Chain A
Amino acid sequence: MRKILGWSVALLFLLLTWVMGQAPDGKLHLIFCDVGQGDAALVIKGSFQMLIDTGPKNGGVVACLSAQMPFWDRQIEIFVNSHPQADHIGALVEVEKRYQIGKKWLAGVAGDRIRYGDLDFDILWPAASGRVLGASTDLNQLSVVVELNYGKFRALFTGDLGTAEEKVLVDSGRLMAVDVLKVAHHGSKYSSAAEFLSAVRPKLALISVGKNNYGHPTSEALERLKAVGARIWRTDRQGELEIVTDGKNVYY
């Protein structure tokens, strides 16, 4: 009996320690998971989580979610898929085995907005008509572009957007300076045009990339990012990145 009591007290103590260590702090946490060649970003505030893309199958997104979410929270409120390619949605089945997903936002169009408390998510792309005139129907061109606003903090998630679509966005005059840019298409030279980067002037440019045969991230894209003064973070070299902000100050 004394043995059972001893174990119960020890387990309770352990449980309280983990609960205190994992309890949400009320700040906005933006996590770019290291999922190899692919994208997976997690937005956390309080008990709210939004997952933007899952990365490829067995890329490690479940380990990232497990490390970042409190153990008792088994629900991701919103899942957004930038576009249905394997390096962006390949691990959705794995995620659904471990977590319930409140709402899947799979086909957002420009003008859509999600509000959660003081978090604003605006969809800037694709246009309601869906395509750039005269261009082919490449899935990358239909990448959902999400702008996150929280206080003075702004982040832009661009999926695998190409330069032609970037130009349309620049011409629309909708783009604003951002604190964090998820660099499009893992640093491809056919994305992140100089004109687009001058419009968004990112302080921090995050490249979600792993081993690949495409030469990602390309020296061209890296040079253009350096030219606008962005600090570059690569998941293949520096691993997972967590950015914490209270809406005014940004820490990472």
Chain B
Amino acid sequence: MKWRLAVLALVLFSRLFFNLAVTSRYRLGEPVRVRFDNYKIERSGSECIISRGVFWLKNDQVCSLKQAGAVAVSGTFRASLIDRLLGRVWLEESSHYTIETAGESEKTVSDGRPAGIRGISASLRDGAERIANFRAKLSETTLARLPSPEGELVLGIVMGYKSVLPKLFYDQLVRSGTVHIVVASGYNVMVVAGLALSAMLLFWRRRVATLAAISVVWLYVLLAGGEVSLLRAAVMGSVVLIGLAWGRSSRIIWSLVLVVGAMLIMSPLLIENISFQLSVAATFGVAVVGPFLKDGWGRDDPVDVTTTLGALLMTAPLIWWHFGRVSWISLLSNSLILPLVPVLMFLGGLMIVAAALISPLAGVVAAPTYALAHLVVILISFFGGS
């Protein structure tokens, strides 16, 4: 107990005294103009997020911007706290701002990052590009072996590829409350961790197997696009796995509290991030609530219904709160579909890896993958209507 408290105290101390977090030099309410060059646009529901360095803005107008080019945004900041390491400065959504595509360079604020970081990020970008190309190749070989929408479903479940989903099928996923299975999320990471650990335990002792499983998890995160939400989930998953291997089960809650606490201390604004909340809830559901339910049930559980139920129980209230669309249908559809997801992930992953290494083997694995994917598609279209 003592050393854990010491770690927390150390993190808190370094944050306060080594200036890891600073108060923004931009004051709330003061009008500013931020120039976004080479910005990134990400979709978030009906709105889009545009970001450049630490500056972030979310609204529906930016969806129509082109990916390349420069834009200037005038407005005010939403919070005065800025974190040097992971912080983001959100521009106030409700304030009156204007977006000019031909922005002026004068009087604009910079993102305040030292030049050295840019050098590192350039080489990171190269690596990311290579991974993106590899992902595109894997996606091609998968789609060439499976019909639609089974191919897209497998890509979504295994690699979090949401963009390729046909619109009709995507709508069915949303209506049936199962769209989360095609988004690379904390749940996927936990499934990969579970599958990898089971496989490694066949060959090694628990502690070695745990380390091997963690490597598999990180490889998966890399292949699934390495989004921030996945990285966070992987950190949480790794900590939970280590907690399981080295200690009593009660330590898992502690490990989770520690890692979530550390993340929040480094970046307090994370608390309002939906994907962060879902990652925490899913990890807690899988690592704590699932085993609790299993003990309570006391019977054989061949398809791991209790783990699924644990994750579902913890995430459902959040999904209801943010998206207002948890229905009885989604509870029913999820309890039927989710137990199939780990097996489909395993088969789909095997097929994708085989396609990259030994092509004929992929053809063989494609058959059982299709068999299961087709069943999932039928269930989704049944619950999601047409």
Say whether A98 contacts B148, CB under 8 Å.
yes
Tell me which residues across on chain B come within 8 A of A63, comparing CB atoms: 148-149, 166, 168
The answer to whether residues A14 and B149 also contact, given A7-B343, A98-B144 and a CB cut-off of 8 A, is no
Residue count of chain B within 8 Å CB distance of chain A:
21
Q: Name the distance in Å between A42's Cβ and chain B's nearest Cβ.
A: 14
Chain B residue, CB-CB nearest to A69: B147
Answer yes or no: B146 CB below 8 A from chain A CBs: yes
Q: Chain B interface (Cβ within 8 Å of chain A)?
A: 140, 143-151, 166, 168, 302, 343, 367-368, 370-372, 374-375
Answer yes or no: A152 CB below 8 A from chain B CBs: no
A67 to B149, CA, bound (A): 9
The answer to whether residues A6 and B302 also contact, given A14-B371, A66-B149, A98-B151 and a CB cut-off of 8 A, is yes
Answer yes or no: A15 CB below 8 A from chain B CBs: yes
Given contacts A71-B370, A71-B374, A98-B151, 6 further A-B contacts (CB under 8 A): A6-B302, A11-B371, A63-B149, A63-B168, A65-B148, A67-B147
Answer yes or no: A209 CB below 8 A from chain B CBs: no
Residue count of chain A within 8 Å CB distance of chain B:
21
Q: List 12 A-B contacts (CB under 8 A).
A: A11-B371, A12-B368, A15-B367, A18-B370, A60-B168, A65-B147, A66-B149, A71-B147, A71-B374, A74-B145, A97-B144, A98-B147
Say whether B371 contacts A15, CB under 8 Å.
yes
A16 to B313, CA, bound (A): 35
Say whether A18 contacts B374, CB under 8 Å.
yes
The answer to whether residues A62 and B374 also contact, given A15-B367, A72-B367, A97-B140 and a CB cut-off of 8 A, is no
Q: Name the distance in Å between B135's Cβ and chain A's nearest Cβ.
A: 15
Tell me which residues across on chain B come within 8 A of A67, comparing CB atoms: 147
Tell me which residues across on chain B come within 8 A of A97, comparing CB atoms: 140, 143-144
The answer to whether residues A15 and B368 also contact, given A63-B168, A97-B140, A98-B143 and a CB cut-off of 8 A, is yes
The residue in B140, B368, B371, B372 that gathers the most chain A C-beta atoms within 10 A of its C-beta is B371
Main secondary structure of the interface of B (DSSP, over half): helix
A71 to B144, CA, bound (A): 11
Chain B residue, CB-CB nearest to A15: B371
Tell me which residues across on chain B come within 8 A of A11, comparing CB atoms: 368, 371-372
Answer yes or no: A3 CB below 8 A from chain B CBs: yes
Tell me which residues across on chain B come within 8 A of A65, comparing CB atoms: 147-148
Say whether B144 contacts A74, CB under 8 Å.
yes
Chain B residue, CB-CB nearest to A2: B302
A240 to B273, CA, bound (A): 43
A97 to B145, CA, bound (A): 10
The answer to whether residues A18 and B371 also contact, given A6-B302, A63-B168 and a CB cut-off of 8 A, is yes
Chain A residue, CB-CB nearest to B367: A15
Tell me which residues across on chain A come within 8 A of B140, comparing CB atoms: 97
A200 to B212, CA, bound (A): 71
Q: Name the distance in Å between A104's Cβ and chain B's nearest Cβ.
A: 18
A67 to B148, CA, bound (A): 8
Tell me which residues across on chain A come within 8 A of B368, comparing CB atoms: 11-12, 15
Say whether B375 contacts A14, CB under 8 Å.
yes
